[in-house]
Chain A
C-alpha cells in the first residue's frame, strides 16, 4: 500500500454490539463452566459429601441462565420481538441454535438441581417449620418412605440422567459461544477455530473460581456440620489445583491464538496489536493478564494458600475479573478493527444499559443469597 495516500472522505461505523453482549457471553461461559466443573468433579469423587457442591454447581448456573437472556433482550432494537427467535428459526445462524441450546441448558440444570435437592426437600416437607408449604410445593406434594439415602438411591438413575444431559448441553453451550464468534468471517480477530478453546478455557477458569467462591459463601451463610465443612474445604482446596491448571490452559490457548494471528496476515497482526499495544492494551495487560491470570495462579500455587479461605476467595474473584475482561477484550476488540477505513472503530458509551446490567447482577447475587437461606444445600441424614 502507498503510505503517501491521504483520506479525504470516508464513513465511520461505530461498534454495533457493546458491553451487554460481552457480559452475556461471559455469564454464559461462567454458568456452563461452573456446571461442567461441578459435574465432572462429581464423576471423579462420587461421594455423598460432594452433593452440596454439586447443588451449588447446578442451581446457581440455572439462576444465571434464567436471568442472562435479559442482557440480550435489553440490547435488541425490538425487545418485544425476542420470542420470535424461537419460531423464526434460521438454520445457518449460530445464534438461532444458541437460543435453543441456552434454553435447554437452563431446563436441564433446573431438572438436575431438582433431583439433587429432592430428598432433602421431601424430608423438610414432612418437618414442622415456616417454609414447610414451600418445600411441599417444590416436591409437588409427593411423599416417599424410607431414609434419605434410600430416596437418593431410588432416584439415582433420573438424577444421573439429567446430570448427563445438562453436562452435554453445557459443552454444547461453550462450543456455541466459540462458533458464534468464529462464524463472522469478516472479523479477523474472531474468525478462528481457537475461539471454541478460548471459551472452554474461560469456562474452566471461571467455573472453578465461581464454585470456590460460591461454596465458601454458602458455608459462611448456611450452618454446615464440622465434618461436612472439613470435607467440603478439602474439595475446594483441590478445586484450587484445578483452577491453577485451568489458568495455565487459558494462558496456553491465548499463546496459540496470538501465534496463529501472526500468521493470519496484516489483519491478524493488527488484531494482536489491539491487545498488546492498541486500544485494549491496558484492559488486557492489567485486568486479563496481571489480575486474571498471574495473581490467581500465584495465589493457588502452594497448598497452604489454597487451604486459606480468604486467599482462595481472592484468587477466585481475580479469575472472574480476568475472564470478564477476556470476554470484553475479544468481543469489543474484535469490532474495533475497521472494516472500511483506517481508524479504530469507537464504542459509544451506554450508561443506561450498563446500569441495567449492574442492577441485574445485584439481583442475581441477591437470589443466590436467598436460595442459600431457603433451600437445603447440606445433606440431611435421617
Chain B
C-alpha cells in the first residue's frame, strides 16, 4: 500500500470514528431529553399535598404505613418529624410528615446501576423492582431526603410508592386514609379538577430541598423551615462551641 493510500485510510478511520462518536453523543443527548420529557408528559402525575396546619402529630400515618406495607422494625417509609420552637410561654410545636417524594428527576433512579429503580410511565410513581435490585444501597445514599432504606428482610432497597397496590385499585394510600386531621391530600397533579390540584391552586406550597432541582411531588403547606432539611446550623454551632 502506498503512503498516500495509507494516509487516506487513516483519515477515513478518523472520519468514521468522528461520525460514530457524534452519533453516540447525539443519541445520549436524545435519551437524556427523552428521560426529562418522559417524567413531564406522563398522563397522570400522582402527588401529595400535606397541610402541616392540619397535622396533629399522632403518627397514625406511620403506623398505617408500617402495617399496610409490612415495613420492618426500625425502618420507616413514612414518619413524622416533630419540633418545638420558642421559649415558654411562647412555644409552638411543628410537624413535618415525611415520605418518599417520588421526584420527577429522582437521584435514586438516576444512580441505580441496574435500573431496579424505575418510574411508571403512566403515573410517574418511582418503584423498586425487588427481582432486579442487587442491594448495593447506592440509592439509599443518593436520596437527599433519607426516604430510602435497605430492607433487612428482602435485602433490597425499599421506599414509599404511594401504596401503589391501593391507588391502582382506586383507593387512597394508607397514610392518607389514616390521617386524623386530613392533612394529606393525594391525587393526580395533572388533573386540574382533582382535590390535590385545587388545594395547590388555593394555597402557597413548599417542596423539600428545592435547590437540588429533583422536583419532588410531595408539597407542603406552611411547613416550618427548621424541620424541612438537615439542621446544619445547629451542628456547626455545636462544633464551634
- A85 touching B134 by the CB < 8 A rule? yes
B212 partner residues in chain A, CB cutoff 8 A: 185-186
Interface size class of A (residues with CB under 8 A): 35 or more
Cα of A88 to Cα of B131 in the assembled complex, Å: 11
Is B100 an interface residue, CB under 8 A from the partner? Answer: no
Is A183 a contact partner of B137 (Cβ separation < 8 A)?
Answer: no
Check if B230 sits within 8 Å of A78, measured CB to CB.
no
**Is A363 an interface residue, CB under 8 A from the partner?**
no
> How would residues 87 to 128 of chain B score, 1 for a CB under 8 Å from any chain A CB and 0 otherwise?
100000100001000000001011111111000000000000
CB distance from B76 to the nearest CB of A (A): 6
Contacts A186-B212, A267-B232; is A278 near B112 (CB within 8 Å)? no
Contacts of A91 in B (CB 8 A): 28, 31
Alpha-carbon distance between A2 and B234 when the two chains are bound, in angstroms: 9
Q: Does B5 reach chain A (CB closer than 8 Å)?
A: no
In the assembled complex, A254 has its CB within 8 A of some CB on chain B: no
Contacts of B198 in A (CB 8 A): none
In the complex, A368 has a CB within 8 A of chain B: no
Contacts of B239 in A (CB 8 A): 270, 273, 277-278
A92 touching B110, Cβ below 8 Å: yes
**Which residue of the partner chain B has the closest CB to A340?**
B146
- Find chain A residues with CB under 8 A from B116 CB: 88
Bitwise, A328-354 to B at CB < 8 A (1) or not (0) is: 000000010111111110000000000
Interface size counted on chain B using CB atoms at 8 A: 58
Known contacts A93-B111, A93-B138; decide if A7 and B132 are in contact (CB<8 Å): no
> Which A-chain residue is minimally distant from B208 (CB atoms)?
A340
A4 within 8 A of B: yes
The chain B residue sitting closest to A82, CB to CB, is B134
List the B residue with the shortest CB-CB distance to A335: B141
Whether the pair B134, A341 counts as a contact (CB closer than 8 A) is no
Complex interface residues of chain B between 156 and 206 (CB less than 8 A to chain A): 156
Cβ 8 A contact of B233, one of A93, A99, A266, A335: A266
Instruction: Output the nearest chain B residue to A1 by Cβ-Cβ distance.
Output: B233
In-complex Cβ contact of A344 among B133, B209, B235 (8 A): B235
* B9 is an interface residue with CB less than 8 A from chain A: no
Given contacts A84-B114, A90-B114, A92-B111, contact A339 B145 (CB under 8 A): yes
Q: Which residues of A contact B115 (CB under 8 A)?
A: 88-90
Interface centre among A6, A85, A89, A185 (most CB of B within 10 A): A185
What is the CA–CA distance of A3 and B144 in the complex, to the nearest angstrom? 23
Asked, given contacts A88-B116, A92-B111, A93-B110, whether A13 binds B149 with beta carbons under 8 Å apart, the answer is: yes
- Per DSSP, chain B at the interface is mixed
B81 and A76 form a contact (CB under 8 A): no
For A92, give its contact among B35, B135, B143, B231 (CB under 8 Å): B35
User: Do A84 and B134 contact each other (CB < 8 Å), given the known contacts A90-B115, A95-B111, A344-B235?
Assistant: yes
Query: How many angstroms from the CA of A340 to the CA of B31 in the assembled complex?
Result: 33
Contacting residues, chain B, for A273 (C-beta < 8 A)? 236, 239
A96: chain B residues at CB < 8 Å are: 113-114
- A85 and B146 form a contact (CB under 8 A): no
Verify A88–B114 contact, CB threshold 8 A: yes
Q: Chain B contacts of A341 at CB under 8 A?
A: 81, 230-231
CB of A5 within 8 Å of the partner chain: yes
Is the pair A90, B85 in contact by a Cβ cutoff of 8 Å?
no
Chain A residues closer than 8 Å to B28, beta-carbon distance: 91
Tell me, yes or no, whether A8 is within 8 Å of chain B by CB: yes
* Nearest-neighbor residue (CB-CB) of A266 within chain B: B232
B18 to chain A, nearest CB (A): 18
19 contacts between A and B (CB under 8 A): A1-B226, A6-B84, A9-B80, A78-B135, A78-B156, A95-B138, A96-B113, A184-B107, A184-B142, A185-B144, A185-B212, A186-B107, A186-B142, A186-B145, A338-B230, A340-B230, A342-B231, A343-B235, A344-B235
| Known contacts A2-B85, A13-B146, then 14 further A-B pairs from the complex at CB < 8 Å, ordered by chain A residue | A1-B234, A5-B85, A72-B136, A77-B154, A78-B135, A94-B111, A95-B138, A96-B113, A185-B107, A186-B212, A187-B141, A278-B239, A338-B235, A341-B230
Chain B interface (Cβ < 8 Å from any Cβ of A): 28, 31, 35, 57, 76, 79-87, 93, 98, 107, 109-116, 132-138, 140-146, 149-150, 154-156, 209, 212, 225-226, 229-237, 239
